[in-house]
A and B are shown apart, each in its own frame.
Chain A
Amino acid sequence: MITQIHLADWREKALQFEKNINQIVLGQTPAVRAITVAVFARGHVLLEGNVGVGKTTLLRAVAQGLGGDYQRIEGSIDLMPADLIYYTYLDREGRPKVDPGPLLKQGENLATFFFNEINRARPQVHSLLLRAMAERSVNAFNRDYALPHLQVFADRNRVEREETFELPAAAKDRFMMEINIDTPNVDKVLDELMFNPNFHDTDQLIASMGESNLAYYQLNALAEAIQIGIQTSPTLRSYALSLWKATQQPQQFGIQLEDVDMAQLLIAGASPRGMSYWIRAAKTRAWLENRAHVLPEDLQAVFSICMTHRLFLNPMYSYRKDQLLPDLLVGILQRVAAP
């Protein structure tokens, strides 16, 4: 059982973990904080961003910081679910052999699974991932394989849309967060990324990362301790409930977007599972901020990253999704008061 004292110790480790990543991936402090929250809330993460902004480096740094085994697979149009489970080949004696695929290779020690370009994979692959993410187990060779420490990170680039498959709503909902990774806009950071040779060799950069002293196999118990230890008051619960309702019926909270019939805007708001992820993330943030209770600012800090991929717009507004969704979420935060 992880006690309060341990929680304090773990917090120091978590902050060191975050600091180490920030030294490897420059100019992405908010994204690193969000991933830190996801790691200690045990939520899966979907990353979205342009090509070459550091998504893969960030995830490799996270894997390095967490320890445990790490597997990575590249999404492609011909990738099939079986490719994640096993692969077949002829051995030296010419006999056919079947070996476990990336999901099963490390067995229960698999801590980080990185699915690169997830939207290039077919829906069948997404379906397999659904169970792996939700239940942390996979059925193969007529038995279930438990993956208790599995945390899935997936990324998709927002530049290319050809030959891609939009993630189904159910798959999206199983991700705790969708984090946007943008190009840093601070000149000093850009200068460092361009001219400092340390940032040119990713392998060397990751190898140089400081020790975080995290025991990945204890993260589940730590996450439960955080969820139990960090308190939410009735006022906060009421505030969170109002925010949730506002994601479903924004017009009832006086939220109005330009050229939008608010009653027609959404076809589906956030799900109860999404809301439980959101609260888990908010509690973890409160813990990282060294508080024993959740404040509205914790809910607000993780509101957008937990909600954006859970709101589904009416098709007539979906072409303005990139503009309307952020405006809607900001509008909700600006209309709902606590208390």
Chain B
Amino acid sequence: MRVLLLVLLLTGCSGSNTDPVSTLKLETPRPFGYLIGDEIPFKVMIETDVGVTLQAASIPATGQVNRWLNLNQVQLQQRELHGRWHYELELRYQVFYAPLEVKLLTIPNFTLQLLQNGKEISQIVPAWAFNISPLRELSIRKTANGEYKRPDALPLLLSTTTPWTGVVIALCVAVVSGFYLAALYGLLPRIFKRHVFRRASQQLAKLSKADMDQALSCVHHAFNTLNQRPLFHTQVHDFYRRHPNYKQMHEQVDWFFNYSNRYFFSNGMIAVALDVDKLKQLCEQAQKIERGSQ
């Protein structure tokens, strides 16, 4: 009985995992059907104890492995899971072997170095074999136009009519929406009011001193439109604050409002041709300001 217990105890101790690399797994693609220039992704997964670290210097460097094999890309990912290190080493090889017939090639093995308590441990990643095929048969056949090899036929172009129609419709909707928004924000009157004095000048050109009512009204209308509300003589300072460019013609503006007040609201005012000319000059001056030339 004592002997049996001792055997069991020894068996339990000997069963404990003392290997620093508990798992080494390769994830490889299909091992056949490769052509010259193909890339082969190759993944090595290693699981170690927490105290074991993979030496980065032992990871294969990118570049030429041998005459027909290049290592294009190396990527290492490391994470801790359930108290163990998980390394994922992704390698991307490219084959440049030009076989004359189907041939078996082997990606050579390599050794990874791991460090545990200052002690180096080697872990060999095994070689991996695969088949590579020629691009064409050995004896090259010819056609009437020479060699039969040719580029791939160009793909058929997709019709762009429908997307373009959609773009045009979307643009139209955007423009209409833009105008609608501008109207909601009150920007449209601002656009139209840019030329208020040009229109006033055009109307004044057709009027004479006999039409002084209309002449004054059309200048008032221009000022009101620019001001976005009726403008009275007592409010011109506020008008200049919002339209400082017009302050330079304050003498003409004062004359206009005084004249208009006398004409419309007091009795016995007689218009003369000179007054119409002064109104026209006022409009021309204001037109220059709204054009930005003054």
Chain A residues engaging chain B, CB cutoff 8 angstroms: 231-233, 235-236, 292-297, 300, 333-339
- If over half of B's interface residues share one DSSP class (helix, strand or loop), that class is named, otherwise mixed; here it is helix
Residue with the greatest number of chain A CB neighbours at <10 A, chosen from B230, B261, B265, B267: B265
- Residue of A231, A235, A296, A335 near B232 (CB, 8 A) is A296
B261 touches A295 (CB 8 A): yes
Bound complex: CA A295 to CA B267 (Å): 12
B233 touches A338 (CB 8 A): no
Q: What are 29 A-B pairs at a CB distance below 8 A?
A: A231-B266, A232-B265, A233-B264, A233-B265, A233-B266, A233-B267, A235-B264, A236-B264, A236-B265, A292-B266, A293-B265, A293-B267, A294-B265, A296-B232, A296-B265, A297-B232, A297-B233, A297-B234, A300-B232, A333-B230, A335-B229, A335-B230, A336-B230, A337-B224, A337-B230, A339-B213, A339-B220, A339-B260, A339-B264
What residues of chain B lie closer than 8 Å to A337, measured between beta carbons? 220-221, 224, 230
B55 within 8 A of A: no
State the 4 A-B residue pairs at the shortest beta-carbon distance, nearest first.
A337-B230, A235-B264, A293-B266, A334-B229
What residues of chain B lie closer than 8 Å to A231, measured between beta carbons? 266-267
B217 within 8 A of A: yes
B91 CB, nearest partner CB in chain A, Å: 70
What residues of chain B lie closer than 8 Å to A333, measured between beta carbons? 230
- Residue of A232, A293, A295, A334 near B230 (CB, 8 A) is A334
Residue with the greatest number of chain A CB neighbours at <10 A, chosen from B213, B217, B220, B266: B266
Bound complex: CA A334 to CA B231 (Å): 9
Chain B residues engaging chain A, CB cutoff 8 angstroms: 213, 216-217, 220-221, 224, 229-230, 232-234, 260-261, 264-267
What residues of chain B lie closer than 8 Å to A292, measured between beta carbons? 266
Bound complex: CA A300 to CA B235 (Å): 12
A87 CB, nearest partner CB in chain B, Å: 50
B265 touches A235 (CB 8 A): yes
What residues of chain A lie closer than 8 Å to B217, measured between beta carbons? 339
Bound complex: CA A296 to CA B234 (Å): 10
Bound complex: CA A233 to CA B261 (Å): 10
What residues of chain B lie closer than 8 Å to A233, measured between beta carbons? 264-267
A33 CB, nearest partner CB in chain B, Å: 14
A321 CB, nearest partner CB in chain B, Å: 24
A289 CB, nearest partner CB in chain B, Å: 11
- Residue of B220, B221, B229, B265 near A295 (CB, 8 A) is B265
B211 CB, nearest partner CB in chain A, Å: 13
Q: Which residue of B lies closest to A234 (CB)?
A: B264
What residues of chain A lie closer than 8 Å to B233, measured between beta carbons? 295, 297
B214 CB, nearest partner CB in chain A, Å: 10
Residue with the greatest number of chain B CB neighbours at <10 A, chosen from A235, A292, A339: A339
A62 CB, nearest partner CB in chain B, Å: 26
Bound complex: CA A233 to CA B229 (Å): 23
Q: Which residue of B lies closest to A297 (CB)?
A: B234
What residues of chain A lie closer than 8 Å to B232, measured between beta carbons? 296-297, 300, 338
Bound complex: CA A212 to CA B86 (Å): 104
Bound complex: CA A336 to CA B230 (Å): 7
What residues of chain B lie closer than 8 Å to A297, measured between beta carbons? 232-234
B212 CB, nearest partner CB in chain A, Å: 11
What residues of chain A lie closer than 8 Å to B224, measured between beta carbons? 337
What residues of chain A lie closer than 8 Å to B216, measured between beta carbons? 339
Other CB < 8 Å A-B pairs besides A293-B267, A339-B213, 14 of them? A233-B265, A233-B266, A233-B267, A235-B265, A293-B265, A293-B266, A294-B265, A296-B232, A296-B265, A300-B232, A334-B230, A337-B220, A338-B230, A338-B264
Bound complex: CA A333 to CA B234 (Å): 13
Q: Which residue of A lies closest to B220 (CB)?
A: A339
Bound complex: CA A121 to CA B267 (Å): 48
A91 CB, nearest partner CB in chain B, Å: 61
B218 CB, nearest partner CB in chain A, Å: 10
Q: Which residue of A lies closest to B231 (CB)?
A: A337
What residues of chain B lie closer than 8 Å to A294, measured between beta carbons? 265
Bound complex: CA A236 to CA B265 (Å): 6
Bound complex: CA A233 to CA B260 (Å): 12
Bound complex: CA A337 to CA B233 (Å): 12
Q: Which residue of A lies closest to B260 (CB)?
A: A339
What residues of chain B lie closer than 8 Å to A235, measured between beta carbons? 264-265
What residues of chain B lie closer than 8 Å to A232, measured between beta carbons? 265
What residues of chain A lie closer than 8 Å to B266, measured between beta carbons? 231, 233, 292-293
A222 CB, nearest partner CB in chain B, Å: 22
Bound complex: CA A294 to CA B262 (Å): 10
Q: Which residue of B lies closest to A238 (CB)?
A: B264
Bound complex: CA A333 to CA B224 (Å): 13
Q: Which residue of B lies closest to A286 (CB)?
A: B265
What residues of chain B lie closer than 8 Å to A334, measured between beta carbons? 229-230
Q: Which residue of A lies closest to B233 (CB)?
A: A297
Bound complex: CA A231 to CA B267 (Å): 8
What residues of chain B lie closer than 8 Å to A295, measured between beta carbons? 233, 261, 265
B170 CB, nearest partner CB in chain A, Å: 33
A300 CB, nearest partner CB in chain B, Å: 7
